[in-house]
Amino acid sequence: MTATITAPARLSPWQMEAFLLRSLPWLLRQQLPTGELLCYRKEPGRDAVPYPYPLFSALASEALTCLDPRSPYFSPRLHDLIPASRRRACTRVIITIRWRIRYYLAAEEDAGGLWRLHGRSGSSAPDLATTACAAALLLEERHDAPARHVGAVRRLMAEQPGDALGWLFGLRLLSLAGEPDPVSLQAVGQLIANEIGDPIPVAWAMDQVEHDGHIVFGRAIRDRPPSAIPPAGSRLRMAFAVSSLLHRGHRGPELDRGIDALANDPAPPWLLEHDPLRHFVASPAATLAIILRTMAQALANEDAGRSTC
Amino acid sequence: MLAVATWEGLQRQKHEAEAAGADFHQRHQQEIDDYRDAIDGALRLGLQRLEAAVAELGQGNAFCRDLAGQTANYVEWMRWSLGDLPYFAFAISPSEEQIEQNLPGCALVYFAGRVLDDFLDRHHLYRGRRFTLLSALADQRGLGGEADALTVLMAVLLTVEGLVQVQEGGAAGEKLAAQVLRSARGLLIGILMDRSGPELWSLEFYERLIEHKNVDYWRLLYDALDPAHRSPLYPVLARYYALAQKLNDLEDYSRDELQGRPNIVSIHRLVAGVADNGAETTGEVLHSIETTLADEMLQLGRQARSLPEPARAIALLKIGEMQGACERIGFFVQPAEIAKTNGSKTERSAAKLGLAWHSGLEEFVQRRGVEALERVACPACGGDRPQVVFRKQGFGFNRCAECTHLYVSPRLRSEYSAQLAVESAETAYDPFLETQKIYAESICRTLSQYSTGQRLLDLGHGAGYLMLMARAYGFQVYGVDASAVSSDALKPVFGDRLQQMHVDEQTLPWGNFDQAVMSHVLEHMAKPRQTLPKVHAALNSGGLLYVAVPDSESLQFRVFGKKWDAVSPIAHPQFFNQESLSRLLRDTGFEPLLRVHSPKLLGPERKRWMRLFRRLGGDESGELAILARRVPDPPPA
């Protein structure tokens, strides 16, 4: 018997093309000479100021794998939306951004395989999420993770027991390094069950663990994070939520609205509102990269929707 | 001086508190930030409800809405005074609903107390930083009864609105409202007691005064989180706030005595039967109070240590902060016996000035005698042919007949202005530092255009806008600033590339810079002719120096004269024009390259007066910015 599953969200190719063509050159301009992507900190009642936050560079680099043909997560559908005459240039931009981020993160590594929250030159505390994501990124071109990175992540997991986002990324690194840790998995489950941390990014990070780390969370844990699309305003959270719903195989008009809002938002990236993830810090470039990846995911889902079974 | 055992006990306590504080922040900063957001959100909610109620009941009356808007604006600015609440919330763990239900109302009543205090103490400028509601109303309605009456009315309205909001929480809300009313009644009685004459003062009076004026006042807020006072933290905090007020009194006793207000020192002196205010007697009384308070601090520490976690860590954290503040103002210093063994200094640091940037010459002379002042020659050219042009705050501004530089003489000695800067930084954030952000990018663009290297030194980095922007522009940034607060705030990003120091007194720790920036720094310096050679030495041959100062030939100065806020005899003893600044630069080994004009502000920040100033030939900033170059070294012979 053959049945066709309805395509969940229809992305108009010309809208996606316009979105890509205006985003990529801007993304390149958001990269500092050091290789880091510009981040801004905006405390309540103050204006935004450029503020170093390496985690966003790492997250953006991971997200941009969807347009990097060398990556296993490359999305040919997204790539095809770029006009043929511009594809080579766009690919060059993505590859350049990614290798510059990689060199930046390598230069930011502190003694003991740690990454600090605001970069190596300051006195900020080592950060678990930053360390785990940066180490995972450097692992991309190697087969084995340096023991110092794995050790550093384990140490930080012990020191920062309440950091759900950090623990999830830590767990993913351990899994990528071939050292999956059932005890940590249990501890993360506990953190999520106790609703520690912002649930939308935590749910998204959980998907990354499942996707990259090949770890499957129990149903009880997976079902805890909210499945609803957040109200408009935060494009980053919207992208996280849409990505999570796609990952979990949801369908429906609510998801379509979320995808529509991401792809067809009339605000250009340089006018994005301050959209912090943690510590009042936001990175429009990283937000954009994560939106791009979510788009790639949506396109892949459309393909799956058209397939027959 | 304290007994050795007491001092050692305090030191141990301080170290324990510091360790507990560091550990706590490392583990729970995120939760504290979350609570801070929730509390800020609750306050904003309370203010929105206030404004909505005024708009609805007043049928959109523009005057009422404007008053409510100004009050809300002022209260929102004052939200920093809720800084301790997130920590207490962490220990008490109230639900989000409880914070949202109780806090908006309680906070409004709490801030009503602040507004009332401004009225009673005639605060027009809050600690020299921001105009108060009283001041804003006096601006609109004139100094006098009407502005006063409106201020009191707004305080009453805040209280009533707060109580209405608290009561809306059902039965629990009604119970809490009764508690808030009791605390508010205590506060009002405390304020009345504070006005009573010395014939009614006694030690019991003082304890009761603190209980009402400070502890009851604190309870207004605390009850929002823990209405039943179930947290083990409660008794410790009640004691902590009483002790904090005593230490505060110790700091401010000279000001209180001048105003005839009850103060721990005056009361102890009165009780001891000492009538005169002689230095010897004051010293003895201060010593006795210091010893008593040190014992109280140790007892409080013991009580805190017996608490379960996390109340223990939070109580210790607050005690550590209080102890650190005491040491900074010169109390609980190392006893002579220990200092002798260690070979360190034991001098008590100067007692707090308790004055502000807007204080007058007479006030400084009253507090510190005529030794607080010094007469100087022209700091720009060294000439000594001054002519008094005008006076402000009692200080004379002189014009140098040789270089036309405007400078203050006699002026406040630099150690006192430095002390004033430290005291001001401790009490409130300086909003003038925020204006730096406007020109940070323009400075970076100018330097990128002319520079040949990446190493940049920011002298007087303030809030760090330029440093952060320059870093984003790819410069390798270093910074120095006299303020420890400013320096500490940027340490997470710049680490060892920051140094807290007084450039006019110390040598710069680094060198070989390709550019240096002194944006609104030189006008603060007592001896610019001695400071610039240090910058010269830190620059490479041909390196750039960007200097910006308020311009004494700007349109602002021509229009507003001495009323321009840049004319401040204490903060800015120098007032340059292009001629005097260029001459100073040339005399110290620099070659002025160009005058950098302020960029036009665009967007919503561009106000009507700014357009007017541009049309009249001036600009928004009224600053004089010069890009100079270190004169290249002659080639080796």
* Tens of pLDDT, residues A249-281: 777 778 888 887 787 766 666 677 788 888 889
Q: How many CB atoms lie within 10 A of CB A49?
A: 19
Q: Cβ of B492 and A117 within 8 Å?
A: yes
- A71 touching B (Cβ < 8 Å): no
- A52 touching B (Cβ < 8 Å): yes
- A118 touching B (Cβ < 8 Å): yes
Q: How far apart are the C-alpha atoms of A101 and A31, rounded to whole Å? A: 9
When mean pLDDT is compared across A29-38, A127-136, A200-209, the lowest value belongs to A200-209
pLDDT of residue B349 exceeding 70, the answer is: no
Q: How far apart are the C-alpha atoms of B53 and B208, rounded to whole Å? A: 37
Q: Both ends of chain B: CA-CA distance in Å?
A: 62
Q: Nearest CA of chain B to the CA of A51: how many Å?
A: 6
* Mean pLDDT, residues B86-98 taken together: 87
What per-residue confidence (pLDDT) applies to A3?
A: 33
Q: How far apart are the C-alpha atoms of A40 and B485, rounded to whole Å? A: 21
Chain A contacts of B79, Cβ < 8 Å? 45
Q: How would DSSP label each residue in B531-554? A: HHHHHHHHEEEEEEEEEEEE-TTS
Q: Which amino acid is at B344?
A: S
Of A45, A119, A160, nearest to B493 by CB-CB distance is A119
* Mean pLDDT, residues B577-601 taken together: 91
Q: How far apart are the C-alpha atoms of B467 and B436, rounded to whole Å? A: 11
Name which residue leads in pLDDT, A229 or A204. A204
Q: Between residues 239 and 298 of chain B, which touch chain A (CB distance below 8 Å)?
A: none
- B388 touching A (Cβ < 8 Å): no
Of B79, B437, B472, nearest to A47 by CB-CB distance is B437
Q: How would DSSP label each residue in A207-226? A: HHHHHHH-----HHHHTSS-
Q: For residue B630, what is the enclosing H or E element?
A: strand B623-630
When mean pLDDT is compared across A170-184, B219-233, B297-311, B484-498, the lowest value belongs to A170-184
Q: How far apart are the C-alpha atoms of B154 and B64, rounded to whole Å? A: 10
- B612 touching A (Cβ < 8 Å): no
pLDDT band at A128 (very low <50, low <70, confident <90, very high): very high
Q: Cβ of B30 and A118 within 8 Å?
A: no
Chain mean pLDDT for chain B: 84
Chain mean pLDDT for chain A: 81
Instruction: For residue B600, count CB atoms less than 10 angstroms from its CB and return exposed for 0-12, middle for 13-18, buried for 19 or more.
Output: exposed
What pLDDT, in 10s, does the model give residues B383-434? 888 888 888 888 889 999 888 999 998 888 888 888 787 777 655 555 566 6
- Considering the entire predicted model, what is its pTM? 0.61
Residue (of B51, B163, B11) closest to B102 by Cα position: B163
Chain B contacts of A47, Cβ < 8 Å? 434, 437
Nearest chain B alpha carbon to A32: B472
What per-residue confidence (pLDDT) applies to A28?
A: 86
Chain A contacts of B468, Cβ < 8 Å? 49-51
Interface test with B, best of A30, A32, A49, A165 (most B CBs within 10 A): A49
Q: From start to end of B393-497, where are the E strands?
A: 395-400, 406-408, 411-412, 455-459, 476-481
Nearest chain B alpha carbon to A54: B493
What per-residue confidence (pLDDT) applies to B580?
A: 93
Q: Nearest CA of chain A to the CA of B42: how many Å?
A: 14
What per-residue confidence (pLDDT) applies to B29?
A: 84
Q: Cβ of B492 and A124 within 8 Å?
A: yes
Q: Cβ of A49 and B33 within 8 Å?
A: no
When mean pLDDT is compared across A7-16, A128-137, B109-118, B540-549, the lowest value belongs to A7-16
Q: How far apart are the C-alpha atoms of A205 and A169, rounded to whole Å? A: 7
pLDDT band at A234 (very low <50, low <70, confident <90, very high): confident
Of B26, B27, B494, nearest to A121 by CB-CB distance is B494
Q: Is the peptide bond before B310 cis (omega within 30 degrees of 0)?
A: yes
Chain A contacts of B492, Cβ < 8 Å? 117-118, 122-124
- Residue B325 zone, left/alpha/beta (φ > 0; ψ -120 to 50; rest): alpha
Of A47, A50, A123, nearest to B491 by CB-CB distance is A123
pLDDT band at A68 (very low <50, low <70, confident <90, very high): very high
Chain A contacts of B76, Cβ < 8 Å? 45
Q: Which two tokens stand for residue B546?
A: 């960007």
Chain A contacts of B31, Cβ < 8 Å? 162
pLDDT of residue B197 exceeding 80, the answer is: yes
Q: How far apart are the C-alpha atoms of B28 and B358, rounded to whole Å? A: 40
CA distances from B548 to A114, B524, B582 (A): 40, 12, 12
- A33 touching B (Cβ < 8 Å): yes
Q: Between residues 138 and 157 of chain B, which touch chain A (CB distance below 8 Å)?
A: none
Q: Between residues 227 and 286 of chain A, which touch chain B (CB distance below 8 Å)?
A: 278-280
What pLDDT, in 10s, does the model give residues B435-481? 677 788 889 999 999 988 899 999 999 888 999 999 988 899 999 99
What per-residue confidence (pLDDT) applies to B413?
A: 86
Residue (of B416, B408, B321, B279) closest to B84 by Cα position: B321
Of B437, B468, B495, nearest to A51 by CB-CB distance is B468
Q: How far apart are the C-alpha atoms of A145 and A96, rounded to whole Å? A: 24
Chain B contacts of A202, Cβ < 8 Å? none
Nearest chain A alpha carbon to B475: A33
Q: Which two tokens stand for residue A277?
A: 């993830």
What per-residue confidence (pLDDT) applies to A223?
A: 64
Q: Nearest CA of chain A to the CA of B27: how many Å?
A: 6
- B30 touching A (Cβ < 8 Å): yes
Enumerate residues 6+ apart whose C-beta is below 8 A from A122.
A52, A116, B491, B492, B493, B494, B495
CA distances from B591 to B83, B515, B533, B632 (A): 48, 14, 13, 9
Q: What is the dihedral of CA B167, B170, B175, B177, to 10 degrees?
A: -10
- A145 touching B (Cβ < 8 Å): no
* The length of chain A, given as a count of residues: 309
Q: Nearest CA of chain A to the CA of B297: how many Å?
A: 31
Q: How would DSSP label each residue in A62-127? A: HHGGGG-TTSTT--HHHHHTS-HHHHHHHHHHHHHHHHHHHHHHHHH-BGGGB-BTT-TTS-PPB-
What per-residue confidence (pLDDT) applies to B399?
A: 92
When mean pLDDT is compared across A184-198, B227-241, B272-286, B480-494, the lowest value belongs to B272-286
pLDDT of residue B33 exceeding 60, the answer is: yes
Q: Nearest CA of chain A to the CA of B487: how many Å?
A: 12
Q: How far apart are the C-alpha atoms of A40 and B472, rounded to whole Å? A: 10
| C-alpha atoms less than 13 angstroms from C-alpha of B95 in its C-beta half-sphere | 3
Pairs of CB atoms within 8 A across A/B: 57
Tell me which residue has tokens 């941009």: A64
Of A45, A49, A124, nearest to B465 by CB-CB distance is A49
The DSSP code for B343 is T
pLDDT of residue B348 exceeding 60, the answer is: no
Of A38, A122, A124, nearest to B472 by CB-CB distance is A38
CB-CB contact of A265 with A233 (8 Å): no
Q: Nearest CA of chain B to the CA of A37: how many Å?
A: 9
Q: For residue A49, what is the enclosing H or E element?
A: strand A49-50
Chain A contacts of B469, Cβ < 8 Å? 49-50
Chain A contacts of B33, Cβ < 8 Å? 279-280
Chain B contacts of A274, Cβ < 8 Å? none
Chain A contacts of B497, Cβ < 8 Å? 121
What pLDDT, in 10s, does the model give residues A77-116? 888 888 888 889 889 999 999 999 999 999 999 988 899 9
- A125 touching B (Cβ < 8 Å): yes
Q: Nearest CA of chain A to the CA of B497: how many Å?
A: 8
pLDDT band at B283 (very low <50, low <70, confident <90, very high): low
pLDDT band at B342 (very low <50, low <70, confident <90, very high): low
Q: Between residues 427 and 466 of chain B, which touch chain A (CB distance below 8 Å)?
A: 434, 437, 464-465
Q: How far apart are the C-alpha atoms of B367 and B127, rounded to whole Å? A: 18
Q: Nearest CA of chain A to the CA of B438: how many Å?
A: 10
